[in-house]
Structure 1
Amino acid sequence: MSGTVEQGARGLDDEPPEPVLPGGAEASAGRGDWAVVVLLLALGAFLAHGTATMDVPENSGSPGPRFVPVIVTVLTFVLAALMAAQVARATRGARAASEPRPAPAGEGTDWRAVGVVVVSFLAFTALLSPLGWLLSAALLFWGTGYALGGRRPLFDAGVALSVSAAFQLAFSAGLGLALPAGVLEGAF
């Protein structure tokens, strides 16, 4: 019966106060998202520079060695623009609210996942020459899958190796380009 007698300062029907974002909603909305947008723009600029300065033999056929890098560069810029628009819309919506909003449950930047993807990419670039495309790209795809929640290491490694092999076949058969073989040179 003690629950019906005195409830303190709150009434019986009042809900407990919800946590608010520190400094108000607009102070912290989208910081990590803007960092990802900036990283995507920097990656796009790096890819655009690399594609523009690529040495292309005069006798290369169509579509040529710049075909895939141009597609990847354009997609990187499109993704950055779409993400920037989404973050701007979310930030504008947070600023329009006159009172602090409750802290969203489960939202925010997963910096551990971002770190795993960055480390996987750095390992890929460092190991591309010695290991070759097939193995280093499989490591990149496996690391990215792990960062995104994959928890079946053998299955994920098989999928990563299959995707890496599919890219290798697409480049060699479809474009006539040889990706680095690394330690597997002469094995097949």
Structure 2
Amino acid sequence: MTTTTDPATGTPARGSWLREHSELGVSLILLLLGALVLTDALTLSVELTQRGPVGPRTVPLVVGAGLLLVAVLLAVDVLRGGRGESEAGEDVDLSEPGDHRTVLLLVGVFLGFAVLVGPLGFPVSGALLFWGAAYALGSRHPRRDPLIAAALALVTYVVFNNLLGVPLPGGPLMGVL
């Protein structure tokens, strides 16, 4: 294992252990997520009419236990000196900074969808979500993009609400569709 040193003093650089073991952050996130999933699964209200061994708690319990197991295995591997491989993609320039503008636009689009889906319904807010995501990712067709977004949102709404029986908020279009 190599440690980075401060060129001026020759002493180990501050935070070098954390930098070399940064995968422990991923392990911590997986551990917290697994605990959250297990807590939600164990506090899930189950109807007494459940038949058979597989109920609504089964999948969350398996997923939560899997997340905890992966978190522990990753932490052990990192502490033993394991490291993830660096990205070696031919189309990725690791020396360039991340595209923060695109990420912030996408976060804004998703937050806007979450706020608007209740009052406007899924078809309208979904169309704004699809159009906003396309815009954030670089599509600049002012006539085509909104039409495709509206069609995608409408088809998604009809498939989930009418065909699959998964109720989505209809908003102003509730009586029309």
The TM-score, its normalising length taken from structure 1, stands at: 0.48
Runs of 4+ in 1 over 4 A off after TM superposition: 51-59
Query: For residues 184 and 58 of structure 1, do their structure 2 counterparts lie closer, same or farther at Cα, with a shift above 3 Å needed?
Result: farther
Query: For residues 134 and 153 of structure 1, do their structure 2 counterparts lie closer, same or farther at Cα, with a shift above 3 Å needed?
Result: same
Q: Which has the larger radius of gyration?
A: 1
* Partner of residue 130, structure 1: 119
The alignment's C-alpha RMSD in Å is 4.6
Question: Larger relative CO (CA 8 A, sep 6+): 1 or 2?
Answer: 1
1:88 matched to 2:84: yes
Gaps of 5+ in 1: 1-26, 28-33, 60-65, 78-86, 94-103
Aligned residues between the structures = 124
* Partner of residue 120, structure 1: 109
Gaps of 5+ in 2: 1-15, 17-22, 50-55, 68-82
Matches within 5 A, 1:154-169: 154-169=143-158
Query: For residues 166 and 119 of structure 1, do their structure 2 counterparts lie closer, same or farther at Cα, with a shift above 3 Å needed?
Result: same
Q: Counterparts of 2:107 and 2:157 in 1: how far apart (Å)?
A: 22
Q: Counterparts of 1:57 and 1:179 in 2: how far apart (Å)?
A: 23
Letter in 2 for 1:115: L
Letter in 1 for 2:123: L
Greater percentage in helix: 1
By how many angstroms is 1:54 displaced? Answer: 7.5
Percent sequence identity is 36
Query: For residues 149 and 106 of structure 1, do their structure 2 counterparts lie closer, same or farther at Cα, with a shift above 3 Å needed?
Result: farther
Question: Deviation digits for residues 136-188 of structure 1, max 9, x if unmatched?
Answer: 01111111111111001221111111111121122123321221011222234
